[in-house]
Amino acid sequence: MQSLGTTVSVVGGGVGVVTEGVKAGIAGLMSLAAQGSALPTEGGGVFSITFNQDYSSLGVGTRIGYRLYSLSTLDKLELICDNGNEDTCIVERLFSSSLVAVVSLSSPRKLKVCHFKKNSEICNYSYPNTILGVKLNRARLVVCLEESLYIHNIRDMKVLHTIRDTPPNPTGLCALSISNENCFLAYPGSNSIGQVQIFDAQNLQAKIMIPAHDSPLAAISFNASGTKIATASERGTVIRVFSVGEGARLHELRRGMKRCATIFSLAFSPDSLFLCASSNTETVHVFRLEEIKETRPPVVEEQQGLMGWMTKAVSASASYLPTPVADMMSQGRAFATVTLPFQGVRNVCAIATIQKQTRVLVASMDGYLYVYSLNTSEGGDCTLIKQHRLDGHEGGPTTGECAGASTATSGPYPGAAKKTEPVHTDGGGGEGTYAGVLRGPAGTVMTEADKMSEMAAACESPPKSVLKFDDVSEFPPV
């Protein structure tokens, strides 16, 4: 293990010369950010909106920093962190812990891992190209560039594996399962057709390639157990659900028949019984994923007369239908629908349990969170029951502070590295940084074995040592 407090290259070798891909990536981020410019200037302008892994909180990246909201109650959207240090285009929180991964638009090649309760930086890494996506669970942190993926061990942020020369992925599309038992990473296997590459992020080996669609992928999402994956293509008419283990198609769901759409997000419910899909249209579709059972058609006594003749005619004609038409007739339809008060604005959806009630959540780049009811028995139209602003005007900590955080600031941020591999820097070594905590009080020197012991203990759930970064019974590995 490299000693803390030093700048090191975490992997050997090179990935070639940094080219115009960096500028292209920045332009892509600016293009995505422009879609959310509807938020008022005083709100900071929204660059990104993300739910955490269990939909218990919401992260919002803006022109002036990032905010974190708790989703534990319906009546009030509690602002738990308002960090106004710099523009933020990516913010990802690890469950309910204090660990957050942040990327700024002004430094799009640098990932910072921070402890938001202490308002301090743990470490940062610089990459050869623009960071387009960040995913994390209790074991891994994945950084997605346009043509490569870096897999870190979240306990010590060491790079374990690099997937190089992936098909061009300008939107940073990828998904990471939150399951400890099925720790899988999914990303596009082609930029011309809808292939999904499943990679075992725990054992660091490719698992299976799933031919999901004829058109390139637009959205992918794992269920909570990591056993199923939902996919949608750029056409946006059909959503499919596959078994991760065998790649078998489990469900085929039709979003609509009248028009194509750009699918923005897919999300399973925590129990995997429902799947929601949001797009650039005004409708969010909720599908019920019925268990597939092999059943024989019931034996029906032959009817006499006109009705019997019509039944035979319909049954016989079905076998002559073109395959695409027959497939369309067998596709599942939406169990419930949400009608949004807007269309064409990028958004992200989720199905969450809030105060023991199942809700459909839609967070939009217009700066609002919409909460809808979901009748899990009857389905139908979902009713809007709450609407929250995401500009920090509903109370909470003052700008630049986080709930329960000290006023200590992090050390100076090093400039972006000019190497072609990620370069690691710790948070500066002050009392508010992780390195400072490991060193202990003045005059105390910790050995490398002590540091590793502390880091391993901090990754237990619940933590076994006094080195605690969690606030609601969730560990934050470091």
Token digits for 1? 């293990």
Dihedral sign, Cα of residue 273, residue 234, residue 285, residue 71: positive
The yes-or-no verdict on residue 23 having pLDDT over 60 is: no
Token digits for 269? 């419910």
Least confident window among 146-150, 273-277, 439-443 = 439-443
Query: pLDDT: is 266 or 420 the higher one?
Result: 266
pLDDT, tens only, 187-231: 999 999 999 999 999 999 999 999 999 999 999 999 999 999 999
Contacts of 344 (CB under 8 A, 6+ apart): 280
The one-letter amino acid code at 151 reads I
pLDDT of residue 410: 31
pTM over 0.85: no
Nearest to 110 by CA among 416, 336, 376, 338: 416
pLDDT of residue 421: 67
pLDDT of residue 95: 96
The yes-or-no verdict on residue 79 having pLDDT over 80 is: yes
Dihedral pair phi/psi, residue 318, rounded to 5°: -60, -35
Least confident window among 146-160, 376-390, 419-433 = 419-433
For residue 41, give the DSSP letter.
G
pLDDT of residue 423: 75
Strand partners, 243: 228
pLDDT of residue 85: 82
pLDDT of residue 422: 79
pLDDT, tens only, 408-432: 333 322 333 334 567 776 655 444 3
For residue 97, give the DSSP letter.
B
From CA 411, how far away is CA 387, in angstroms rounded? 38
For residue 239, give the DSSP letter.
E
Token digits for 150? 């870096």
Residue ranges with strand state E in 223-269: 228-233, 238-243, 249-254, 263-268
From CA 29, how far away is CA 25, in angstroms rounded? 6
pLDDT of residue 453: 44
pLDDT, tens only, 430-477: 443 333 333 344 334 434 444 344 334 334 454 443 334 444 444 444
Contact status, residue 198 vs residue 221, Cβ threshold 8 Å: no
For residue 467, give the DSSP letter.
-
Q: How confident is the model at residue 391 (pLDDT cuts 50, 70, 90)?
A: confident
- Do you know the residue count of the chain? 478
CA distances from 463 to 133, 327, 405 (A): 28, 51, 20
pLDDT of residue 318: 46
pLDDT, tens only, 334-371: 999 999 999 999 999 999 999 999 999 999 999 999 99
